Each structure stands twice: as C-alpha cells, then as structure tokens.
Chain A
Amino acid sequence: MTTNNAKSGAGMRVELQAINKRYASIDAVKDVNLIIEAGEFMTFLGPSGSGKTTTLNLIAGFADLNSGAILIGGQPMQSVPAHKRNLGVVFQSYALFPHMSVWNNIAFPLEQRQHSKTEQRELISQVLKLVELNGFESRMPSELSGGQQQRVALARALVFNPNVLLLDEPLGALDKKLREWLQGELKRIHSSLGSTFIFVTHDQEEALSLSDRIAIFNRGRIEQVGTGQDLYERPETLFVGQFLGDSTILRGIRSGESSHSSILDFGGVSVTAPKARRASQNILLLRPEKISLTAPTGAAESGVNRIPATVSQRTYLGSSWRYDVTLGDGKPGIVRQGPAERMFEPGAQVDLVWSAADGVLLDADDSSGASAA
C-alpha cells in the first residue's frame, strides 16, 4: 500500500464551530466546538443519545445544521452536499449494497469518480490487500460473515482515498474476539494511510485503545476532549470521571484552604485535596489503583489521606484484586490491590489510604445522576 499510490496521506483537518442541531424540540447537538487535526484518530465517546452519531451525520452531510459551521480542510461545508464531500463513511449496519458483489461494491465510488477500468482494478486489489480480503471479489455480501462484511465496507470507504473517514460504531455488531482483532486492523490501517479518522463508539475500552484523542459527549455537548490518559487522570467533570473507568466519589464540605491544597470535611474526617480552582468544587474523585487498603490504625502522616470503610466484596481479577467497600456515609467505593498486598476478608474494617496529590477535585455535576457508568 506504500507503493505508487501517491495520493495517500491526504488527511484533512475538520473544524466544528458552534454547531447546533435540533430535532423537533430536542437539542441533539448543542454548541459543539472541536478541531480534529489532519491525520488524527479522534473518537466520539458517550452514552447512546448523547449526540455523537448526530455530530457524525452532520459532518457527513446526511443532516443539515441549525446553526454553526463545519470546515473540512479549511473549506466551509454548508453548501456542499454529502456526495461532494469526499468522506468515507462506515456504518454499524455495514450498508453494503446487497445486489452487488464485493468487487462491485468497492468499485462503486471509483465509478462515481470516473476512474478507468485499469485504475479501478489496481485500486481495488490494493485495498483488498489492505483489509486482507483477496479472493473474495466475486462473493455477494450475503455470503460473508459480519466481520468480512465490515472489512468490505471499510475497503469501499477507503478505496477512493477520502480526506476523512467517519466510522459509526463499526464494530458494535461483532463479537468480542472479532472486535478486538478489527480494532488492531483499524489502528494498523490508520497509521499506514495517514488520513483523518473520526470514530464513534460507546465502548470506553475501544476508545482508549484506538484513539489519539477522545471527545466525551453527554446530552448533546462535549464534556471534555483529550488523550485517554488526560481524561482518565484529569477529568474536568464528574460525568467524564464516572463515564471513563471506575472511581470512588467522596462528597464533602470544603473546610479550609492552604497555599497548595484544599481541605474537605468528609463525615468528620478531614481530607486533603489538590488546590481547588473554584469554590464550588467539593467532590473528590479517586481511581481504584491510587488507593491502598490498610488495617485501621488512625496514624496520620502529612500528604496522606486516610478514611475508614468496610469491605463488602472481594473479586479476583487475575493480575489484581478488586475490593468493593462501603464508606462511612454508606456510599460505595472501589479499590484495586496488587497480588502482593495484604488481603482483607469481606466485613473487615479497613482504611482507604491515598496520597493527597492523587485525588481529583470536581464540581458537583447536575448530569451525573442520569449517566453514572
């Protein structure tokens, strides 16, 4: 694929400028601003109905904006119909043309672009090699498995060297093993082509393993954009913190400030958190691997927090143990311990211990109740 087909690597930058889309009285997409860099693998992650697929449809030109602007390669798309945008789209339902063979499906975009038969043959055999489906040219879509159909759909969307590839939950209908294998394939194809990929999913592991950056959607808005590590370690909203990965949430009352930290009162226990940026931040989010369990000692050290809890369940995860604990206020917490750590039985009184710098201080989030993951 790296040979004479010199047009590859033509990924384009996509800009969403304050885009809005209403269906009836529902704001499907609300003031979304985002820049996707040329060649980037960007994932739209969010629960269903969060506006990620609508945003993708707006980029593809399948629906019209109510307001705002979409720029692809710097060109405004407002008056450009879907078939002139030169985007590849891969659908969850594959959307292969059932009355055409694999070859004719893949030739379709080339015919629309008036490529000669010789060019078609060359491009199709290249792309079939890329998706590893040589020898399937004359099959009908109904004669292929789900994974093969999705690879044909991918080949069809890539064969004309689109500036941007849009993928709408393309692996959603496949079983886990196939999905993981195709994730690897997608990653490999993305790096070999250099075009811009925009990928929609509700599966956080898929998002983390594939993406350069992830945009987290919730209720028609983007909550946060960043690398997987950014989002996991430094969530800016409670929604992001809870949607991506496991967490323990401490709802406290701000009781003091120092130059580098804020003090929260949590059911009579003082807890030190990183310095708050806003007065309204009174929720502390902790990742399970940042907490360790110890027997209750009560000995205080500076820079280390310690709160009492009761072990409610212990689960073996192979490389680690997962402890579900109950905090003083009855709320749940999650702790992950390495196999070498001391073990506790369900019912045991323990202390959760973490370094003050490892907590993330957040605002109470009005949308968290609807979508806790």
Chain B
Amino acid sequence: MTKPILYATVVAIALWMIAPMLVVIVTSFTDTPSFNFPPSGYSLRWYENFFANQAWRASFINTTLVAALVTITATTIGTLAAIGLHKGRFFGKSAMTGLMLAPLIVPGILVAIGLYSVFIQLNMLGSLPGFVIAHTVVALPLVIINVMTALSTFDSRLEQAASSLGAGRWEIFRRITMPLIMPGVLAGAVFAFITSFDEIIISLFIQSPRLQTLPVRMFQSVTQDTDPTVAAVAVLMMLVSVGLAALTRLIKPRSGSKQ
C-alpha cells in the first residue's frame, strides 16, 4: 500500500470514529428545539437550559456524588485486591482473579438484572448506597487491572531492601510500595470515576424517581421528547471524561522527585 492510500484510510477511519461526537457537539449549539443537523442557527440556549433547570442540575450533582463515592470505594478495594492477588500464594488464586475481572466481560444487562432483583427486595432501588454498590462492581476491574500492571513492574527486592533497613510491613507499604504504584492507582481512580459517571445500563434498572443519574435522565429525555439540552449535557460529560483521561497522561511520566 502506498503512503497516500494509507493516509486516506486512516483519516476516513478517524472521521468515522469521531463523527457522532462532532454531530452532538454541533447540535448542542442549535437555536431550534429539535435535533436537526446541521442546525439552521446557533445559540447557547440549551447550555443555559441545563444550568437553569432544577431537575438537570440535581441529576448532575447526583451523578458526580455517586462517581466520587465509587472512586473512593473502588480504588480502595481494588488496590488492596490487586496487591493481594499480586503477592498472595493461595489456592484458587487465578479463579479469584478471573472472578474479580468478570464484570468487564459479563454483559452489563446481566449484572443489571441481578442487581435489580436483589435491590428490589432490599428496597435499595434509586438509593445512593445502591448506586455506589452497583457502580463499584463495574469500576473495580479497571482499578485492579491498572494497579496490577503497576505492581508487575515493581521490583520486590525494594521491599526486601526496605525491610533490611529496618522498615516493618506498614512502613514498607507506606513509604515504598504505595508511592511507586501510585500512578497505577490514580489511573485506576480516574477510570473508576469515568465508568460510574457515564454508566447507563445498570443505572436504568436500579434508578427510581428518587435518584436519577445524568445518563438516565438523558435517556428518558431523548425517548420522551426532542430536547437538545441532552446534546449540551452530552458535550459537558464528554469534557469531564476527556479532561480526566488527559489528567492520567500527566500523571504517568512523573519521575517522582518527592520531598
């Protein structure tokens, strides 16, 4: 294949991948209450509408709160799990690893139905703990993978060295292991936040009018009427996700000149 053909193919594929985003971004600036593309005129009214509308604001705050709590639970549990899976020598270790990473592969709808049938009995539908627990299930594997990757490049002789120098287990973890796997932990935390932030399948099942996350409210809005506020919200969500993902790029190459 010659270079121009290769180049053209790459551009075509790139366009194909970002085209939906471009459509949504352009649509969010329309001046008419419809999803016409391309729009006949441009305005910021749908962004205004988002910030002015009490219901949209409430679900944005809910989503952010859920995602923040999920980040804390998933990062804590996931980091500890990854360390246990990396260091532990126990029976059924690989089965345990597979089980913890399963939510990545198992269809979301299956997890959703499972959680729904349990939550309905426990009266947890539409509750904050319900959302945090549900989203933690799907966010956990991402933390575990990121931390395990960081651990796989971690030289365990550093821990032997630290212990020979007089550090006990907790000191070794606090002063040596944790700082060195920190980039992996932070990357996992960002993925956990983003996963919870735009989770829709499970959220649709476990939501109630008591508590709706942003994606749920967007879904309902699109199915009920043609309100371009959804496009504006989508753009805002995209900015949050892309911003956080960019942050992990900044974290990674840190050589670690601390103190």
Instruction: List residues of chain A with CB under 8 Å of any chain B CB.
Output: 60-62, 81-89, 91, 93, 95, 97-101, 104, 108-109, 112-113, 140, 142, 156-157, 160, 166
Contacts and interface: CB of A to CB of B under 8 A. Distances in A.
Contacts of A62: 160, 163-164
Nearest to B179: A99
Interface string B130-169: 0000000000000000000000000101101111111110
B155 A95 contact: yes
A108 B163 contact: no
Given A93-B157, A98-B180, A99-B180, A82 B258 contact: no
Interface in B166-218: 166-168, 171, 175-176, 179-180
Given A91-B157, A93-B155, A93-B157, A108 B165 contact: yes
Given A85-B164, A100-B259, A104-B259, 8 more contacts: A60-B160, A83-B162, A97-B158, A97-B162, A108-B175, A109-B166, A140-B256, A140-B257
B164 A83 contact: yes
Contacts, number: 74
Contacts of B158: 95, 97
A82 B160 contact: yes
B166 A83 contact: yes
Contact of A99 (B163, B166, B168, B256): B256
Interface of B: 155, 157-158, 160-168, 171, 175-176, 179-180, 255-259
Closest 5 CB pairs of A and B: A99-B256, A112-B166, A109-B165, A95-B161, A89-B164
Contacts of B179: 99
A37 B168 CA distance: 28
Contacts of B155: 93, 95
10 contacts: A60-B164, A62-B160, A82-B163, A91-B161, A93-B157, A95-B158, A95-B160, A97-B176, A98-B256, A140-B256
B257 to A, nearest CB: 6
A307 to B, nearest CB: 52
A160 B165 contact: yes
Contacts of B163: 61-62, 81-83
Instruction: Identify which of B163, B164, B165 gathers the most chain A CB atoms within 10 Å of its CB.
Output: B165
Contacts of B256: 98-99, 140
Given A89-B160, A93-B157, A112-B171, A99 B258 contact: yes
Contacts of B175: 108
B175 to A, nearest CB: 7
A93 B164 CA distance: 15
Contacts of B161: 89, 91, 95, 97
A208 to B, nearest CB: 27
Contacts of A81: 163, 168
A91 B168 CA distance: 19
A109 B168 CA distance: 11
Contacts of A108: 162, 165, 167, 175
B164 A88 contact: yes
Nearest to A93: B157
Nearest to A104: B259
A81 B168 CA distance: 9
A101 B256 CA distance: 9
B166 A100 contact: no
Contact of A100 (B157, B171, B258): B258
Contacts of A100: 258-259
B234 to A, nearest CB: 40
A84 B164 CA distance: 8
Contacts of B259: 100-101, 104
Contacts of A104: 259
A44 to B, nearest CB: 17
A60 B164 CA distance: 7
A108 B162 CA distance: 8
B150 to A, nearest CB: 13
Nearest to A85: B164
A99 B255 CA distance: 7
A245 B218 CA distance: 81
A108 B168 CA distance: 12
A104 B180 CA distance: 15
B155 to A, nearest CB: 7
A144 to B, nearest CB: 13
A140 B165 CA distance: 19
A306 to B, nearest CB: 55
A345 B141 CA distance: 74
Given A100-B259, A108-B175, A140-B257, A113 B160 contact: no
Contact of B165 (A93, A99, A112, A166): A112
B164 A87 contact: yes
Nearest to B157: A95
A95 B167 CA distance: 15
A124 to B, nearest CB: 13
Nearest to A109: B165
A162 to B, nearest CB: 9
